[in-house]
Structure 1
Amino acid sequence: MNMTETKLSPAEEDSYFPHDPEVTDFTFIVDNRKFHVAKVVLIDASPVFRRMFKGDFKEKNITELELPGKDGTIFEFFLRCIYPRECTLTEESVFQVLPLADEYDVKCIQQKCEEWLLTELELKYAKVSPHYINVKNSIEYLTKWMYYAEKYRLDKLYATALDKLLPFRLRSYIDSENYKMMPETMKREILEKRLCLLEGSVQSINDYNYQIPIAWFQ
């Protein structure tokens, strides 16, 4: 983090977060762009920002901070999600902003992202066009969203995606890149829950003296 004053041309001042001496009292420099913010807004949204500005850190006594290695466009969108400004979520923007929301522990953004993904998941599962394409597409989304839900602690999304993935045969997603990226604990949970589901179905069939279709085990 660079604590020195950085001089930028007026064109590099961010239009969404301009300098306002009556409101703004801190400046982030990201990707050679300046974002002027009010610390009180960030403190209210994030315990990480609260510690940064209220704790015994250098940021408490400075007015400008450079954040190297971050994308300016994504950081701007991250701030817009915190401020009462327009920020329309898309699948791309959700997965771009989640890492920053997790890094700074901004619960309101994590909640917005989870709610958007849950809504999108329901639309895909209901086969609403253009959200739904085909079964393979649905499986890819389910495994992808389970992976990110676990990574960013989106518990409701994780449980919903897992519940919708279980009816699919293992061979339909075992070669998925998203499935391969999952921790072994997640893979084991999927297999255990799928086994319980199958055992429950088998027991119900046995109770009624039905013959078990051999296709279930192929």
Structure 2
Amino acid sequence: MKANMKEETRFAQSDGLTSSIVFLVENRKLYASKEVLALCSPVFRNMFESDFRERLADCIPLPGKCYKELVEFLLCLYPDTQKPLSDETVFPIFSLADEYQVDILLHKCEDYLLSKCNDKNTPMTALVNILICAEQYNLKKLFNAAFDRVSKIHPDDVKSVPEYVKLHEDTRKTFKKLREQALDVNLTDGNVHDVLRIAVDYNEKDLINKCENHMIQRCKKTEKPLIHGLVSMLSAADKHKLTKLKEEVLELAIKRKSHELEASPIFKNLAPETSRKVLSKRLKVFEGLYSKLCKVRCHCCRKHADYNCKICFISTTKECFDSLGMCF
């Protein structure tokens, strides 16, 4: 918990006007404003207004408190500083804000931690600590946000976090139950994409492979996928880096009509490299098709195809398309 020199000395000595109360923390004096504290905290207000001995004391001891943490707490609280929270300060400040019932800081801390839950780069250890904090202070919104992130971490990984054992036993049991429910599913053509998304969220490699193999087998069936299903599989392969599936779907995609592929909204959302690959592969097939057509004998005159003749053109072209399994 780092603070610059000015911040460290901010409450180390009296400045006359705003130093109306003195606390003793870790054998060090901390000078603060009774008015600011009373305004923000009902606990401090009660302390100063009641008949407690602290009301008239020259120096009020705060046993068990950390001097640096109290300084950070006051720097965040005081209107002239309003120091931003950090990953290092948020939990101790949250604890002090809860103890002294400083609502403005409680909301500030909760919002900060919610933003960390929404940040994909937040470390696993931090997410577990946020969940523990949400449990401790019964913060439902924060609990749900942290729970959603932690529940999708592989059990072997999350259990390696030392703080994991501090989570309530019911929370850990719910993790296990939800994971089992999410992963225990019979794959069908109708649910495979939803299951794949869940498998990726939960980093469940075996289930990801199972989904990939299911879609590969679907491509190999006699009844080929419709355009929407075909492009959906190509999109899934693209998004989740499923190389085997991508190769299989590409072989089918290049045999479909270009205008049908490009008419699909999903095709338009593919990575540019993937859509270009489909169309360029299809172009190469047509180049080979043209070469083949030039060598084919005409069905009606048994000479080289005469494309001024409609019969020649239709019959020979269809024959070549059929031989490649392409739509004519």
TM-score between the two structures when normalised by the length of structure 1: 0.70
Which residue of 85, 91, 95 corresponds with 1:89? 85
Is residue 25–residue 63 contact of structure 1 (8 Å, CA) maintained in 2?
A: no
Which residue of 8, 11, 16 corresponds with 2:10? 16
Structure-2 separation of matches of 1:169 and 1:180: 15
Distance 1:164 1:56, change over 3 A: same
Larger RCO (CA within 8 A; separation ≥ 6): 1
Which residue of 157, 167, 173 corresponds with 1:172? 157
Mapping for residues 73-84 of structure 1, pairs under 5 Å:
73-84=68-79
Structure having the larger proportion of residues in helix: 2
- Counterpart in 2 of 1:101? 97
Pairwise CA distance, 1:27 = 1.1
Pairwise CA distance, 1:54 = 2.2
Which residue of 113, 131, 149 corresponds with 1:117? 113
- Counterpart in 2 of 1:6? none
Secondary structure of the residue aligned to 1:42 is helix
Which residue of 161, 167, 174 corresponds with 2:146? 161
Structure-2 separation of matches of 1:54 and 1:194: 53
Is residue 98–residue 152 contact of structure 1 (8 Å, CA) maintained in 2?
A: no
Percent identity among equivalent residues?
Answer: 32
Pairwise CA distance, 1:112 = 2.0
Mapping for residues 194-205 of structure 1, pairs under 5 Å:
194-195=179-180, 197-198=182-183, 202=185
TM-score between the two structures when normalised by the length of structure 2: 0.49
Distance 1:175 1:67, change over 3 A: same
Structure-2 separation of matches of 1:209 and 1:79: 53
Root mean square deviation of aligned Cα: 3.2
Structure 1 runs not aligned, ≥5 long? 1-13, 126-131
Structure-2 separation of matches of 1:52 and 1:195: 51
Distance 1:27 1:170, change over 3 A: same
- Counterpart in 2 of 1:58? 53
